[in-house]
C-alpha cells in the first residue's frame, strides 16, 4: 500500500485549455450575464438530448426548485422521492411547502423501487422525483406508468446522468421535466449550474418566469412604453451567467469522451473486484447505459466500513459515502421522519463505499486504489 503524494478526490472536473479560452473570451465580451451564451448553451443541451426546451439555472438545486414551482407543488401536496440521494432532491419539495414522502430503493440498482412508490401513493400525491443514482437511470417506464395512472407529474433528478440512456432513449426525454447539475463533480461542469429540460410549453414558460423574479414583458407593454414589464409571480434571481454558459458549451463538446472514459474505469474496477468475495460491485441493468457518475461498492457485513474509510483516507484516496438516507438528517428527523422508514436504503447505506471515478483518473490510479482496497480487506 502506497500513500499518494496528493489527495485523490472521488470526483472532480476535467478542464482543458479550450475551456479556459472560452471563459476568457466571454470575459472580454459585452455580456457577463444575460447575454447570448445562455441561450446558446440551452439550445446545445436541448439539441444534444433531443428535447424542445432547456432553461438554465444558477445551480441544480435552484433548477429543482423551479421544477417544483412549475409543477404547482404546494402546501397540501405530497411528493415521492428516494432516500438515497443528495438532500436537494427532497428539499425542493419543502421550498414549496410540500410534504416529502420517501419510497424505498431496489436492493440491486439502489434506485427508487416503483413497487414502493405505488405503496406510498395517496389522494394528496402530486409528483414523483426519481433520481438516476450513480448515473444509472431509474426505472422510468414503470414510474411513468404509475404517474399516468394517478395523474402525477414526474420530475427526474438527472444530476448524475447527463448522457445516460434507458432502453435506448436519453435521460431528459423520459420525464415531464428533468434536472441536470453542472457542479464540478458532475458529468460536465459550469462551476455552479443546473438546467431543466422539458417538452411542455407551460412548464417552460413558468421555469423562465421563476428564475428571473417572476417578471415578464406583457402584451400591454406597448401601451405603457418599451420600459414596461410586469412581475406576475414571486420568482427568484436564479439565473446562470454567460461565463458559466461559455464553460458549459465548451464542456458539452467533450461529454461523450467523458462518458466513455467513466465507463472504461467502471469496467476496470469491475474486473479487478470480480473475484473479491467481500466486495459487491454495482449491478447494471442490461437495458440501461449508465453515466457512471459514482462507482459504489458494498462491503461484506463482516468488514468495518468505518475502518476501511479511515485507512483509505490515510493513503490519500478520496473514498466517500453516497448517501446518508435523507430522512436521517436532523432537519427531517425534526419533522417527524423515523429511522427504519426505508430498511433496504438503510442497509445499503451501512455498507456502501464510493471509490474515485472521473475522466482524468489514470489506469495506474485505479490499480493503486484496488490494490490498497484488497489488501485492507484481506
- Interface with ligand PLP, residue 111, by CB under 6 A: no
**Shortest Cβ distance from residue 58 to ligand PLP (Å)?**
9
Q: Do 70 and 129 contact (CB within 8 A), yes or no?
A: no
Q: Smallest Cα–Cα separation from 3: which of 252, 328, 312?
A: 312
Identity of the residue, 127 or 131, whose beta carbon is nearer to ligand PLP in the bound complex:
131
- Interface with ligand PLP, residue 13, by CB under 6 A: no
Cα-based distances in Å from 322 to 72, 115, 132, 156, 356: 30, 23, 13, 18, 12
123 CA to centre of own chain: 28
**Shortest Cβ distance from residue 57 to ligand PLP (Å)?**
8
Q: Cis (ω within 30 of 0) for the bond into 140?
A: no
Separation of alpha carbons 326 and 335, rounded Å = 12
Residue 164: how many other CB atoms lie within 10 Å: 23
178 CA to centre of own chain: 10
Q: Residue 345 belongs to what H/E stretch?
A: helix 343-351
**Residue 199: exposure state from Cβ atoms within 10 A (0-12, 13-18, ≥19):** middle
**Shortest Cβ distance from residue 155 to ligand PLP (Å)?**
11
Q: How far apart are the first and last CA of the chain?
A: 13
Q: Which of 183, 206, 320, 358 binds ligand PLP (CB under 6 A)?
A: 183
Residues 156-175 that bind ligand PLP (CB under 6 A): 157, 159-160
Sole window of 55-63, 134-142, 143-151, 162-170 interacting with ligand PLP (rule: CB under 6 A): 55-63
Residues 120-149 that bind ligand PLP (CB under 6 A): 131
Residue whose CB is nearest to ligand PLP in the complex, by number: 60
Q: Which of 181, 250, 288, 354 binds ligand PLP (CB under 6 A)?
A: 181
Residues 272-311 that bind ligand PLP (CB under 6 A): none
Q: Do 117 and 146 contact (CB within 8 A), yes or no?
A: yes
Sole window of 13-21, 25-33, 154-162, 220-228 interacting with ligand PLP (rule: CB under 6 A): 154-162
Catalytic residue from among 170, 186, 206, 311: 186
**Shortest Cβ distance from residue 61 to ligand PLP (Å)?**
3
Sole window of 84-92, 118-126, 147-155, 361-369 interacting with ligand PLP (rule: CB under 6 A): 84-92
Which residue do the cell numbers 444575460 mark? 34
Q: Which of 13, 26, 82, 85 binds ligand PLP (CB under 6 A)?
A: 85
Q: Is residue 339 flagged as an active site residue?
A: no
**Interface positions with ligand PLP (CB under 6 A):** 59-61, 85-86, 88-89, 131, 157, 159-160, 181, 183, 194
Amino acid at each position: 500500500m502506497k500513500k499518494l503524494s496528493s489527495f485523490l478526490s472521488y470526483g472532480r472536473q476535467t478542464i482543458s485549455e479550450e475551456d479556459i479560452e472560452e471563459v476568457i473570451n466571454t470575459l472580454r465580451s459585452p455580456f457577463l450575464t444575460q447575454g447570448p451564451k445562455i441561450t446558446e448553451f440551452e439550445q446545445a443541451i436541448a439539441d444534444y438530448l433531443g428535447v424542445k426546451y432547456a432553461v438554465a439555472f444558477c445551480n441544480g438545486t435552484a433548477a429543482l426548485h423551479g421544477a417544483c414551482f412549475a409543477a404547482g407543488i404546494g402546501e397540501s401536496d405530497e411528493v415521492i422521492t428516494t432516500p438515497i440521494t443528495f438532500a436537494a432532491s427532497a428539499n425542493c419539495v419543502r421550498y414549496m411547502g410540500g410534504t416529502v414522502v420517501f419510497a424505498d430503493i431496489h436492493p440491486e440498482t439502489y434506485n427508487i423501487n416503483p413497487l414502493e412508490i405505488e405503496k406510498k401513493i395517496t389522494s394528496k400525491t402530486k409528483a414523483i422525483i426519481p433520481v438516476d443514482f450513480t448515473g444509472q437511470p431509474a426505472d422510468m417506464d414503470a414510474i411513468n406508468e404509475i404517474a399516468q395512472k394517478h395523474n402525477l407529474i414526474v420530475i427526474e433528478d438527472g444530476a448524475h446522468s447527463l448522457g445516460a440512456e434507458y432502453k435506448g432513449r436519453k435521460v431528459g426525454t423520459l420525464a415531464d421535466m428533468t434536472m441536470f447539475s453542472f457542479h464540478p463533480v458532475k458529468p460536465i461542469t459550469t462551476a455552479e449550474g443546473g438546467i431543466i429540460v422539458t417538452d411542455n410549453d407551460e412548464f417552460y414558460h413558468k421555469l423562465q418566469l421563476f428564475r428571473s423574479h417572476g417578471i415578464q414583458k406583457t402584451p400591454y407593454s406597448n401601451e405603457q412604453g418599451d420600459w414596461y414589464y410586469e412581475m406576475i409571480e414571486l420568482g427568484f434571481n436564479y439565473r446562470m451567467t454567460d461565463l458559466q454558459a461559455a464553460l458549459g458549451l465548451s464542456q458539452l463538446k467533450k461529454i461523450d469522451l467523458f462518458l466513455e472514459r467513466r465507463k472504461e474505469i467502471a469496467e476496470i474496477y469491475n474486473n479487478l473486484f470480480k473475484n473479491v468475495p467481500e466486495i459487491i460491485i454495482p449491478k447494471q441493468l442490461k437495458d440501461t447505459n449508465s453515466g457512471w457518475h459514482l462507482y459504489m461498492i458494498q462491503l461484506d457485513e463482516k468488514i468495518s466500513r468505518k475502518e476501511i474509510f479511515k485507512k483509505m483516507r490515510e493513503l490519500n484516496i478520496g473514498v466517500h459515502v453516497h448517501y446518508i438516507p435523507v430522512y436521517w438528517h436532523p432537519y427531517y428527523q425534526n419533522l417527524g421522519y423515523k429511522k427504519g422508514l426505508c430498511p433496504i436504503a438503510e442497509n445499503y447505506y451501512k455498507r456502501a463505499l464510493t471509490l474515485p471515478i472521473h475522466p482524468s483518473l489514470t489506469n495506474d490510479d485505479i490499480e493503486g486504489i484496488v490494490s490498497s482496497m484488497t489488501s485492507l480487506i484481506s
